[in-house]
Structure 1
Amino acid sequence: MTASPEQVRVMLVDDHEVVRRGIVTVIDAQDGLSVVGEASSVAEATRRLPAIRPDVLVVDLQLPDGTGVDVMRSARSTCPEQRMLVLTSFDDDAALRESRSAGAAGLMLKSARSQEIVAAIRAVHEGRDVWPADHVADGPDLSESDQRIVDLIGDGHSNREIADELGIAEKTVKNRVTVILQTLGMQRRTQVAAMVAARRRVGWKQDPS
């Protein structure tokens, strides 16, 4: 359970020992990946995280003394740049929203193939988001004007350029971007741009109004 400096250091939080051991075996078998810490509860994870400081934190949502969201929020409180991936059995909108709000970069189902999970860990470590395509294709609960701002962010426009395009004050755009990030459970506009790119890849289109 030790890693050389060039390896991606992974910590896994899951209360099902058989599942956890299986995932650990898969990860440790990969070149450049190594599990450097495990936990089976929120309390154990939050206690061990500051010392382990993994490159990628992989968390189950359902834990005996709380949720993976609790773990992720604790991780972000001590390390705001912590990269995190949710690995869960629950494929629903609530799980997606909770994961995003806690700062996760993606969500994978435990039913996924082992190589898909490995690929997701690598992607998260590289700064990319990994969300199920069917959820990515769903439109967020945003107003028409906010959705327009999201699209312009996806096109690479700055706040000033968006303000000029929409004929509103730059300060108004800045305020709306803050609200949009909160609504989407994101921290950075680069995440919004990545989301737009992912939607466009799967052919998502905004419903006409």
Structure 2
Amino acid sequence: MSATKEPDEVRVMLVDDHEVVRRGIVTVIDAQDGLSIVGEAASVAEATRRLPAIRPDVLVVDLQLPDGTGLDVMRAARSAAPEQLMLVLTSFDDDAALGESRAAGAAGLMLKSARSQEIVAAIRAVHEGRSVWPADHVAEGPELSESDQRIVDLIGDGHSNREIAEELGIAEKTVKNRVTVILQTLGMQRRTQVAAMVAAHRRAGWKQGPA
């Protein structure tokens, strides 16, 4: 485990109760340039106790833990640090896991069966403010109103709040307020995450917004 933080190094905390799995992931991450494991935990209690002192850049959490779930860890992390970036690493790829992970504030979900470099890439993506969700579910998520979907689409086109206001014929303050609601609905913190989500959807052949 890295003892010091190098410039621009992404500090990662891993929460997983399976020691063999945890050790394997730690080895992979610590071998990457610009990434380091700065904390580990095997339970909800241990994770919530250690998080305040560790303050990782990215929190990687398994959903199944012996004394609760990764959702408990993520909610506690967000309560202490609303800007905390989080990635779920799990064996379960289903709608419930995806929906609950989004609602808890995760920026993505990766399966433990993924290749090690895919997991590394996901951690880097989350740190850069992008979302990482299984391709089969890329168009799924919380429902937005038609007007909010239009705003999301325009964010994906790279428009500023002022440009969106001009395009829709509404006040810039209204756009700002709606963007705040959209971020909360999607479980995101920055509009760059929304733009990345739209880009991923478009690559998958789906475009946000009204038909």
- Provide the TM-score with structure 1 as the length reference: 0.87
The aligned counterpart of 1:157 is 159
Deviation at 1:140, TM superposition (A): 4.9
Question: Pick from 91, 94, 101: which aligns with 1:92?
Answer: 94
CA gap of 1:174–1:27, structure 2 versus 1, over 3 A, is closer
CA RMSD of aligned residues (A): 2.3
Change in Cα spacing, 1:176 to 1:29, as seen in structure 2 (3 Å) is closer
Percent identity among equivalent residues? 90
In the superposition, relative to structure 1, how do residues 35 and 206 fare at CA in structure 2: closer, same or farther (>3 Å)? closer
Residue type at the aligned position of 2:5:
P
Corresponding position of 1:82: 84
Task: Identify which of 173, 192, 196 aligns with 2:194.
Answer: 192
Q: Which residue of 1 aligns with 2:144?
A: 142
* 1:1-209 pair list within 5 angstroms: 1-6=1-6, 7-138=9-140, 140-205=142-207
Question: What code does the residue aligned with 1:32 have?
Answer: G
Which amino acid in structure 1 is aligned with residue 182 of structure 2? Answer: I
CA separation in 2, counterparts of 1:28 and 1:17? 16
Moved more, 118-127 or 39-48: 118-127
Quote the offset at 1:69 in angstroms.
1.8
Change (3 A) 1:32 1:154: closer
Q: Which runs of 5+ in 2 are unaligned?
A: none
1:139 to partner: Cα distance: 6.7
In structure 2, do the counterparts of structure 1 residues 13 and 66 end up closer, same or farther at CA, with 3 Å as the change threshold?
Answer: same
TM score, norm. by length of structure 2? 0.86
Q: What is the alpha-carbon distance in structure 1 between the residues aligned to residue 65 and residue 190 of structure 2?
A: 28
- Relative distance call for 1:10 and 1:177 in structure 2 (3 A) is closer
User: Which ranges of structure 1 fall in alignment gaps of 5 or more residues?
Assistant: none
Give 1:113 shift.
0.8
CA distance in 1: counterparts of 2:141 and 2:179, whole angstroms: 17
4+ runs deviating over 6 angstroms: none
Contact 1:123 1:130 in 2 (8 A): yes
Amino acid at match of 1:45: A
Structure 1 residues 170-190: Cα deviation after superposition (integer angstroms, max 9, x where no partner): 444334333322322222222
Q: Which moved more, 1:68-77 or 1:40-49?
A: 68-77
Q: Judge conservation of contact 1:163–1:169 (CA < 8 Å) in 2.
A: yes
Displacement of 1:13: 0.3
